[in-house]
Structure 1
Amino acid sequence: MESYYLSATHKTPRLSFDFANGTFEISGRSIPENSIEFYKPLLKCLDEYIKDPKEQTHLKIILEYFNTSSSKCLVEIFRRLEKLHKDGQNLKIDWYYEQEDEDILESGEDFREIMKLPIEMVLINGAKE
Structure 2
Amino acid sequence: MEIINLEGTEETPKVILDKDNGIFEISGRSLPEDVRTFYQQVLDWLDKYAAAPNPETKFTFKLEYFNTASSKVILDVLTKLEGISGAKVIWYHHDDDEDMEEAGKEFQDIVDGLPFEFKTY
Moved over 4 A (4+): none
* Match for residue 117 of structure 2 among 99, 117, 120: 120
Contact 1:2 1:20 in 2 (8 A): no
TM-score by length of 2: 0.95
1:42 aligns with 2:64: no
Q: Does 1:65 align with 2:62?
A: no
User: Can you give the 5+ residue segments of structure 2 that lack an aligned partner in the other structure?
Assistant: none
Give the superposition deviation at 1:42.
1.1
Matched, 1:77 2:77: yes
Amino acid in the other structure paired with 2:56: Q
What is the percent sequence identity of the aligned residues? 42
Question: Pairwise mapping of residues 1-129 of structure 1 onto structure 2 (< 5 A)?
Answer: 1-84=1-84, 89-116=85-112, 117-124=114-121
Secondary structure of the residue aligned to 2:51 is: coil
Gapped regions of structure 1 (runs ≥ 5) = 125-129
- C-alpha contact 1:28 1:65 (8 A) present in aligned 2: yes
Q: Aligned residue pairs: how many?
A: 120
The alignment yields a C-alpha RMSD, in angstroms, of 0.9
Alignment TM-score, normalising by the size of structure 1: 0.89
Deviation by residue 1:95-124 (Cα, 9 ceiling, x = unmatched): 001111111000000011111121111111
C-alpha distance in structure 2 between counterparts of 1:21 and 1:80, whole Å: 20
Tell whether the 8 Å contact from 1:47 to 1:80 is kept in structure 2 after alignment: yes
